[in-house]
Amino acid sequence: MQGLLLCLVGVLLVGCGDGGHKNVPRSRTLVMDCSSLQDCSGQIKDYNSFNPFLLTGVSKTGWNFQYEPLYFYNAYNPHADNIIPWIATGHEYNEDYTEVTIHIREGVEWSDGQPWTAHDLVFTINMLKDNAPHLSFSTDMQTWVKSAVATNDHTAKIALTKPNPRFVFSYFTNNFDNGVPIVPKHIWEGQDPQTFSNFDSEKGWPVASGPYEIFISVPAQRVWDLRPGWWAQKTGFHQPPAVERIIYLTHMEETKRVQNLISNAMDTCLDIRPPNIQSILDANPNVSTWTGRELPLGYLDWWPVCLGFNNLEPPFDDPEIRRAINYAVDRDQLVAIGWQGAGTKSHLPLPDLPPIRQYTDTIKD
């Protein structure tokens, strides 16, 4: 099905609560609400902490883009170059995929000016292993990693417990909102990662490698400003983002999101139902979606809406019953009525992403 993310281009000025240390035009400010009801309802629960590994109370209001990955994955590029090297320049496995050597880009720096090295990657992996199962991704690292060592500042060698050709992609490539945050060893070493808040403005924490720095972080909002000296700009690897200020507000119910998008008080949100999207489009000519102002009003999402069965229980343990239900479902009608045309059908429990079409296009009835 199509995701229903909206984007809006604002033209007005916006305040930032406590004032700004620089004037940022509205056209260079991105305002959104936190997507997590559990972690941001009423207030941003982790407004005074920045520990991405805690299992509860962690909102995606900064760490998700400030801790840059080894690679990015572009799921919408049909060509082979949809893996984008970022912190890493490349990697190679041994013949049986039980060991991988990762090469770190030279010139990468943390926000405090310290070099980003293979020692940071190795430290993060070993820290997670040592704290399993109490941190996010810790059980994964314990399960898959036999050892991780840095042979020099720009080379890490990871021995795996068993063959895994997808190890780097699964854990150190930013794909589908997934990936292990890699943290600076010189900040986290000696800390208890299960309790470390990683937040102290006087010390310049959090230290990350991304292009922004925290300006305001209070229960009602978290504000990031573009910082000078981002490593990618200094080295000529990448230009800085055009967005100079990012404002996260607390989680909003859908009706409030609709009102804020109509009034230009917010620029983007995670998810809105099709009838409300159309209401916003009708009320505000500045609003656009991933497909403009025409159906399907969204992007190709990576989690299709599916109907599943308990195959261990009758009558669904009979494949003929499941096949009959599959044929009985009118997918075109579901899209037309249930989603008011804002979607596409799929005969597989997989999204129709371009890179996998070479495999799915050959599947027959």
Going by pLDDT thresholds of 50, 70 and 90, the confidence category of residue 2 is very low
Going by pLDDT thresholds of 50, 70 and 90, the confidence category of residue 205 is very high
Q: Which fold has domain 2-63+202-298?
A: D-Maltodextrin-Binding Protein; domain 2 (3.40.190)
> Residue 350 is encoded by which pair of tokens?
């997989």
> What size, in residues, is the chain?
365
Q: Which of 101, 37, 103 is nearest to 271 (CA)?
A: 37
pLDDT tens per residue, range 64-120: 999 999 999 999 888 778 899 999 999 999 999 999 999 999 999 999 999 999 999
The pLDDT > 90 percentage for the chain reads 74
End-to-end CA distance of the chain: 20
* CATH number of this structure's domain 71-188: 3.90.76.10
Rounded to the nearest integer, the mean pLDDT of the chain is 91
Question: What pLDDT was estimated at residue 363?
Answer: 82
CB distance 163 to 78 below 8 Å = no
- At residue 1, does pLDDT exceed 50? no
Overall average pLDDT of the 181-190 stretch = 98
Confirm whether 2-63+202-298 and 71-188 share one CATH topology: no
Q: Which of 199, 193, 197 is nearest to 180 (CA)?
A: 193
CB distance 211 to 230 below 8 Å = yes
CB distance 157 to 101 below 8 Å = yes
Question: What pLDDT was estimated at residue 6?
Answer: 43
pLDDT tens per residue, range 269-280: 888 899 999 999
User: Lowest-pLDDT range, 11-25, 45-59, 231-245?
Assistant: 11-25
Domain ranges of the chain: 2-63+202-298, 71-188, 300-360
pTM above 0.85, yes or no: yes
